[in-house]
Amino acid sequence: MPALSNYFNDEDDPRKSNAPRHKFCDLMTISLLCALCGGETAVDMEHFGQMKEDFLREFLELPHGVPCHDAYSRLFRLMKPTSLQAFFDKFRRDFAAAHAEHPAIAIDGKEMRRSFDKAAAQSNLNVVTAFAHGARLSLGMTQSAKGGGEILALRELIEILDIRGITITADALHCQRETCDLIVQEGGDYCMQLKRNLGDMQADVRAFVADQDIEYNDQYTSVDGDHGRVEERSHRVYDVPDYLAETHQWPHLGAFVHVVSTRTAGQTASSSERLYLLSKCVTAQAAATLIRGHWEIENSLHWSLDVVMNDDQHRARKDNAPANFAALRRIALGIIKANTAKGSNRVKFKKAGWSNDFLRTLIQGF
């Protein structure tokens, strides 16, 4: 079993005076292993420790026995969410090495529907996550900042991550001048959808791409078919004309992308148009990959968290517990997805609980 103490440092232990009866590293290691076996709560962690005590004692001392659920609950309430960033740093280094040619990160928020606390007048927690295109790994997360919601949380993530040479994709909510400027200042590029939140600019760009006399730089068309429907997407990349650049003063704007999607299901056909802002001009196929890749955060992360890990139903509410449990679930899901064994994510979580040998293989890289 790897030395997880390299990632769980005692310096991050927030417990004071006589509270640290159990070692910080022991608690965090059991928490992670429990999450890899499908555990969700502090009570699950206590029972996991009891059932796996012989296995755990192979690499943990457990001087005072298996911790009870109150020990985990207290720790996760007190611990700063940034203490789990070491695992995200590990993922980020692996991602940069394996995806150096065309790296991109999608950033999006997800609300935890059961994290509200009426007695404390606390609304649902919204977690903003950075997710690697292609690698399908969570690289970092933060909770929405008070007064600024997802917008400020995304900017906080940008400052935490090393995004040099990486393209950031986000939905229309984050198509903000300050955000795009920050991304480029940090050494990255952006691909943002342009929608009604920037009405005047959207109207001007839409009129520009609708002009039949305007020449585009490149075009790429893709066709997908599944579940009885066929969708054709046409991507065109345009240079930014001087008059639009002067009118709207968008920071570091390098190109527009115009996407036309035509969807056919039986005898019914529908079409839609979308516009994107890019900080640098790329080929139409590269733009299509960025735009399509952004939705991996919904399909590969958010869907898995809800369906496989029951994220929406988690009831942790007090102090830092909701954010810390959310981070633990993302770390566990990232480790599961990184495993190359056959089987779905759901099956791998179950296999980890059934087989100590399989559980060992999941974290050999740590």
Looking up residue 226, the CATH number of its domain turns out to be: 3.90.350
Residue 318 belongs to some domain of the structure: no
Residue 314 belongs to some domain of the structure: no
Same-domain check for residues 195 and 329:
no
Give the model's pLDDT for residue 295.
78
Domain that holds residue 189: 85-303
Same-domain check for residues 142 and 217:
yes
Same-domain check for residues 97 and 209:
yes
Residue 309 belongs to some domain of the structure: no
Radius of gyration of the chain (CA): 23
Residue 312 belongs to some domain of the structure: no
Give residues with Cβ within 8 angstroms of 225, minimum separation 6: 231
Same-domain check for residues 158 and 269:
yes
Of 238, 280, 229, 281, nearest to 259 by C-alpha is: 238
Same-domain check for residues 168 and 221:
yes
Residue 119 belongs to some domain of the structure: yes
Residue 316 belongs to some domain of the structure: no
Predicted model pTM? 0.70
CA–CA distance, 248 with 108 (Å, rounded to integer): 26
Query: Are 139 and 76 contacting, i.e. CB atoms less than 8 angstroms apart?
Result: no
Residue 219 belongs to some domain of the structure: yes
* Bridge partners (DSSP) listed for residue 21: none
Query: What's the N-to-C CA distance of the chain in angstroms?
Result: 9
Q: What are 77's two structure tokens? A: 């309430």
Same-domain check for residues 112 and 70:
no
Same-domain check for residues 59 and 208:
no
Same-domain check for residues 74 and 218:
no
Domains contained in the chain, number: 2
Residue 317 belongs to some domain of the structure: no
Same-domain check for residues 203 and 241:
yes
Per-residue pLDDT of the chain (366 residues; tens, 9 = 90+): 555 666 666 667 788 765 678 888 889 889 989 999 988 889 999 999 999 999 999 888 888 899 999 899 888 888 877 777 666 666 556 555 554 454 788 888 776 655 545 555 555 566 777 877 776 666 666 666 454 577 888 888 888 788 888 899 998 888 999 999 999 999 999 999 998 888 899 999 999 998 877 888 999 998 887 767 788 899 999 999 999 999 999 999 999 999 999 888 877 888 889 999 999 999 999 999 999 888 777 777 766 676 676 666 666 666 777 778 888 888 888 888 878 888 888 899 999 999 999 998 887 755
Same-domain check for residues 16 and 144:
no
Same-domain check for residues 29 and 93:
no
Same-domain check for residues 163 and 288:
yes
Give the model's pLDDT for residue 191.
95
